[in-house]
Amino acid sequence: MRRPAVVFDLDGTLFDAWSVAREAFAATFRRLRSEAGIGVDLPSEAVLRAQLGKTYAEMWAALLPGRELALYALADAWMYEAELALIRQGKGRLYPGVPEVLQALTERGLPLFIASNGREEYVAAVIDHFDLRRHFVDLYSAGRFRTATKSALVAKLRTTYGLASGLMVGDRKSDVDAGRENGFLTVGCLYGYGDAAELREADVTIEAPQELLALPVLAGRG
């Protein structure tokens, strides 16, 4: 019997994006003021954290409402530049237990994938910095495939790899929606950026990455 695929969101699921996003947002808004001449203040932490996991267009439309798409693209490029520098400085962190969970799932013979709303280069930088690429069949991102929603991204992954069954693991409603719309079991990560209300439609919720290993559908080797 074919083992189910496990499709992971990245930020808020494997990687604590806030560990670099906080400084990166501050640097980006400084550049918006000094280089782009945009008179905007840095939003509150709550507002900034609420953007994590969104596509770049959704994020910047919320943070810079009514501005041109070209400005969103510029802000996102500056944000990526700052995040990448911080990751390379060792300031980013995985959630506790993530390396061990990925290793255990790999040893069980489960095909693992990433499906992220982030930039292709950002996803690769995080995965490679923490030496995780060996665990994944492929890294899917909105930046790589120019998808507008997580559901569309996961649909492309599912079709390309002919996935008959799977789990979508993530911390935002968009992850739950993507899994449900593609016929996957959905796992909501309460330790990420979405709360219990946002993840209420998930089939299962977990409070730590290690809890994935206890799910019956992922037990044992194939």
128 with 203, same domain: the answer is yes
Last residue of a domain, one of 36, 68, 88: 88
* pLDDT tens per residue, range 64-93: 999 999 999 999 999 999 999 999 899 999
pTM (predicted TM-score): 0.92
> How many domains, the chain?
2
From residue 63, give the alpha-carbon distance in Å to each of 14, 60, 72, 79, 149.
Answer: 25, 5, 9, 13, 19
Predicted confidence (pLDDT) per residue in 43-64, tens digit: 999 999 999 988 888 899 999 9
Q: Using one digit for the tens of pLDDT, what is the confidence trace for 3-34?
A: 899 999 999 999 999 999 999 999 999 999 99
> Could you tell me which of 186, 191, 185, 195 has the C-alpha nearest to residue 209?
191
**Domain match, 97 and 194 both:** yes
Q: Which of 59, 88, 117 is the last residue of a domain?
A: 88
- The rounded distance, in Å, linking the Cα atoms of 195 and 182 is 22
CATH number at residue 104: 3.40.50.1000
